[in-house]
A and B are shown apart, each in its own frame.
Chain A
Amino acid sequence: EADIYQTPRYLVIGTGKKITLECSQTMGHDKMYWYQQDPGMELHLIHYSYGVNSTEKGDLSSESTVSRIRTEHFPLTLESARPSHTSQYLCASSDPRLPRGNEQFFGPGTRLTVL
């Protein structure tokens, strides 16, 4: 069973607030990812990291930012939340040294609602 955690699971906030979505994994994986998924829609990669101090933007443009100061921790921040940010945010990690090198282990997600 994968050990990847996301907090909070659900968040309802008002427009303009700064928020940070937490993601932690205890598997020692170097690679971590953030996806955004609207209900019934596909996942879109918004950020990824290959290791400490490495962050890249994903395929879908996002106003969020990420940091990777520690291997196990990959938080996502929205400086000023807007209703258009309402979505589910999924964090994942992977380890190319594993037999299925590109298998990604997902957290339970954070469902964000911005009023």
Chain B
Amino acid sequence: LAKTTQPISMDSYEGQEVNITCSHNNIATNDYITWYQQFPSQGPRFIIQGYKTKVTNEVASLFIPADRKSSTLSLPRVSLSDTAVYYCLVGVSTDSWGKLQFGAGTQVVVTP
């Protein structure tokens, strides 16, 4: 499982765009990049996954450069409810082992 590095924390105001960059220099050819979100006293939940270029869903966008050694999670127009820890994970999408390795994550705090 490739190791990931992301900022420990980020602060933002409501309505701003938040971009969290994750480094994964040792990403393997078959690895996908996945982001989870965790609210206090809850389990993490999946928010987005990508392999290359750009992926967008109703919650976020994920930008992956051609070399795939990093990725950026973009949260558009954040609200107070987006305050959470965001985890970047790298692993094989259909890995028969199914194991994920969570790092320390990025604590995002959104204030009014």
Contacts and interface: CB of A to CB of B under 8 A. Distances in A.
Contacts of A31: 98
11 contacts: A42-B102, A42-B103, A43-B44, A48-B98, A100-B34, A102-B34, A103-B34, A103-B46, A105-B46, A108-B42, A109-B41
Contact of A102 (B41, B44, B94, B103): B94
Contact of B43 (A41, A101, A106): A106
Interface of A: 2, 31, 33, 35, 40-43, 45, 48, 50, 59, 88, 90-92, 94, 96, 100-109, 111
A96 B43 contact: no
Nearest to A96: B94
A100 B99 contact: no
Interface of B: 32, 34, 41-46, 49, 91-96, 98-105, 107
A92 B99 CA distance: 11
A41 B85 CA distance: 10
Given A96-B96, A101-B93, A106 B102 contact: no
Contacts, number: 68
Given A48-B98, A103-B34, 13 more contacts: A33-B98, A40-B107, A42-B104, A43-B102, A92-B43, A96-B94, A100-B93, A101-B95, A101-B98, A102-B32, A102-B94, A103-B49, A111-B41
- Give the 3 A-B residue pairs with the shortest CB-CB distance, closest first: A106-B43, A101-B94, A43-B102
A106 B47 CA distance: 13
A33 B98 CA distance: 10
B43 A102 contact: no
B20 to A, nearest CB: 16
Contact of A94 (B45, B92, B98, B107): B98
Contacts of A33: 98-99
A24 B65 CA distance: 39
A45 B99 contact: yes
A101 to B, nearest CB: 4
